[in-house]
């Protein structure tokens, strides 16, 4: 018997939970040369900004043990070109599309959301909160619960209610549950965990930072335990809020780990850079792993690692513990 891989994303049934994560699949065209993008759960677009931008100066990629540092920046064509060219192309392929948006002010996020309000075929909007806030000395929105919540409210208020909004959080905080809570209270329908961790590498040959911008975002297998921990903590605190779990997924087993921690969808990012068919492969492996352990429906194993133990005292939950420390 094939495993039922369907999961629900807002109003849309996805055929399976495996998504191409933001920034690692462009707007789908590059991936489509290697894999059938209509068969994966959805493609999350590279984060779209109001205007076109060429991104950061090179070098902007550096390999690290089990990871990748990138300072690509939000290179892209801007919302007009995305709506005219990329979105129709993706939809013409039968692909479900999650549009990731990014801004430098709260107003920009609102503008992007209102542009998307009239677009048809958008399955969900993912708010990239890791962008520098121009009104707060470049401090990323995701670092402060209040600021993150303000962005979510601006987006939610400008979008149609049938388009779910996912807030994508940064792991570079001491209390991710507090940021998640502010986003949910401000109208986020779901959460996306995690974006890259801030990192740095120095080239001993040149004795200079390996990236032109000095810092970069760390991704890949090295960050998977951080992603598992964040998904676990947020699921404990908000068991009814859907989570897209992303971070270091390279195999079906990795995806299974995040599902067990509480994610109901899985983003595959860095793996696509060396294996453009990684989403299809991860999906196949996940299905095989589930069949091997006798699971009929992927929905049945979401959050299973929590065990639903009624004995577990409320104070033992990570959210409460964080509050007491
Ligand atoms: C080259 C590159 C570009 C990225 N661009 C974006 C982006 O535009 N928006 C975003 O929300 N996340 C972006 N990310 C973060 C990924 O979507 C993902 O959250 C992160 O890399 C962790 O997953 P992974 O380990 O599977 O790559 C990017 C990551 C990489 C490696």
Which atom of ligand 1 lies nearest, measured to the CA of 196?
20
Query: Using a 6 Å cutoff on CB, does residue 170 contact ligand 1?
Result: no
The pLDDT tens digits of the residues spanning 152-180 come to 999 999 998 899 999 999 999 999 999 99
Query: Using a 6 Å cutoff on CB, does residue 68 contact ligand 1?
Result: yes
As given in the structure block, the two tokens for residue 305 are 């690692």
Q: How far apart are CA 143 and CA 183, in angstroms?
A: 12
131 is catalytic: yes
The alpha carbon of 20 and the centre of ligand 1 are apart by a number of angstroms equal to 10
The residues that bridge with 100 in the sheet, in sequence order, are 126
The alpha carbon of 21 and the centre of ligand 1 are apart by a number of angstroms equal to 6
pTM of the model: 0.94
Query: SS3 letters for the chain?
Result: CCCECCEEECCEEECCCEEECCCCCCCCHHHHCCCCCCCCCEEECCCECCCCECCCCCCCEEEECCEEEECCCCCECCHHHHHHHHHHHHHHCCCCEEEEECCCCHHHHHHHHHHHHCCCCEEEEEEECCCEEHHHCCEEHHHCHHHHHHHHHHHHHHCCCCCCEEEECCCCCCCHHHHHHHHHHCCCCEEEECCCEEEECEECCCCEECCCCCEEEEECHHHHHHHHHHHHHHHHHCCCCCEEEECCCCCHHHHHHHHHHCCCEEEECCHHHHCCCHHHHHHHHHHHHHHHCCCCEHHHHCCHHHCCCCCCCHHHCHHHHHHHC
Choose between 267 and 53: higher pLDDT.
267
Nearest residue (by CA) to ligand 1, atom 10, is 22
The pLDDT tens digits of the residues spanning 127-158 come to 999 999 999 999 999 999 999 999 999 999 99
- Average pLDDT in the 98-125 region? 96
Q: How far apart are CA 2 and CA 77, in angstroms?
A: 40
As given in the structure block, the two tokens for residue 155 are 């987006």
The pair phi, psi for residue 314, each rounded to 5°, is -55, -35
Nearest residue (by CA) to ligand 1, atom 17, is 22
Q: How far apart are CA 251 and CA 168, in angstroms?
A: 22
The alpha carbon of 195 and the centre of ligand 1 are apart by a number of angstroms equal to 6
pLDDT of residue 311: 38
- Average pLDDT in the 243-258 region? 98
Query: Using a 6 Å cutoff on CB, does residue 100 contact ligand 1?
Result: yes
Which strands, in side-by-side order, build the sheet including 197-200? 61-64, 67-70, 215-219, 197-200
Q: How far apart are CA 321 and CA 325, in angstroms?
A: 6
pLDDT of residue 315: 33
Instruction: Kindly list the distances between the CA atom of residue 115 and the CA atoms of 110, 156, 176, in Å, as whole numbers in the listed order.
Output: 9, 13, 29
pLDDT of residue 9: 86
pLDDT of residue 11: 74
Which atom of ligand 1 lies nearest, measured to the CA of 168?
11
**Confidence tier at 54 by pLDDT (50, 70, 90):** confident
Q: Which of 24, 131, 230, 279 is catalytic?
A: 131
Identify whether the C-beta of residue 154 lies closer than 8 Å to the C-beta of residue 107. yes
The pLDDT tens digits of the residues spanning 267-298 come to 999 999 999 999 999 999 999 999 999 999 99
Nearest residue (by CA) to ligand 1, atom 21, is 219
- Average pLDDT in the 227-234 region? 98
pLDDT of residue 325: 30
As given in the structure block, the two tokens for residue 214 are 């000095």
The percent of residues above 70 in pLDDT, for the chain, comes to 94
As given in the structure block, the two tokens for residue 120 are 């048809």
Choose between 74 and 324: higher pLDDT.
74
Tell me the average pLDDT of the chain.
93
pLDDT of residue 13: 87
The alpha carbon of 25 and the centre of ligand 1 are apart by a number of angstroms equal to 9
- Average pLDDT in the 51-65 region? 93
The pLDDT tens digits of the residues spanning 188-221 come to 999 999 999 999 999 999 999 999 999 999 999 9
**Confidence tier at 308 by pLDDT (50, 70, 90):** low
Query: Using a 6 Å cutoff on CB, does residue 250 contact ligand 1?
Result: no
Query: Using a 6 Å cutoff on CB, does residue 49 contact ligand 1?
Result: no
């Amino acid at each position: 018997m094939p495993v039922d891989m369907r999961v629900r994303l807002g109003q849309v049934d996805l055929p399976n939970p495996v998504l191409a994560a933001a920034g690692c699949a462009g707007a789908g065209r590059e991936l489509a040369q290697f894999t059938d993008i209509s068969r994966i759960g959805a493609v999350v677009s590279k984060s779209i900004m109001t205007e076109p931008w060429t991104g950061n100066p090179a070098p902007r990629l550096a390999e690290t043990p089990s990871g990748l540092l990138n300072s690509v920046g939000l290179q892209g064509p801007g919302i007009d070109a995305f709506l005219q060219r990329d979105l129709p192309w993706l939809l013409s392929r039968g692909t479900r599309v999650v549009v990731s948006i990014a801004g430098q002010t709260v107003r920009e996020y609102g503008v992007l959301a209102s542009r998307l309000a009239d677009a048809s075929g958008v399955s969900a909007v993912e708010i990239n909160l890791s962008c520098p806030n121009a009104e707060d000395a470049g401090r990323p929105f995701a670092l402060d619960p209040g600021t993150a919540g303000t962005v979510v409210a601006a987006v939610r208020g400008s979008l149609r209610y049938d388009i779910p909004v996912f807030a994508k959080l940064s792991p570079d905080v001491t209390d991710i549950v507090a940021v998640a809570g502010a986003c949910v209270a401000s109208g986020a329908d779901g959460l996306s965990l995690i974006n890259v961790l801030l990192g740095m590498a120095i080239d001993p040959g040149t004795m200079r930072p390996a990236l032109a911008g000095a810092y970069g975002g760390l991704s890949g297998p090295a960050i998977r335990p951080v992603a598992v921990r964040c998904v676990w903590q947020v699921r404990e605190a908000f068991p009814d809020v859907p989570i897209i779990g992303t971070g270091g997924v390279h195999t079906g087993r990795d995806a299974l780990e995040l599902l067990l921690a509480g994610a109901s969808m899985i983003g595959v990012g860095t793996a696509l850079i060396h294996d453009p068919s990684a989403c299809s492969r991860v999906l196949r492996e996940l299905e095989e792993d589930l069949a091997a352990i006798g699971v009929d429906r992927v929905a049945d194993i979401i959050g299973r690692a929590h065990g639903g133990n009624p004995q577990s005292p409320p104070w033992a939950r990570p959210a409460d513990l964080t509050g007491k420390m």
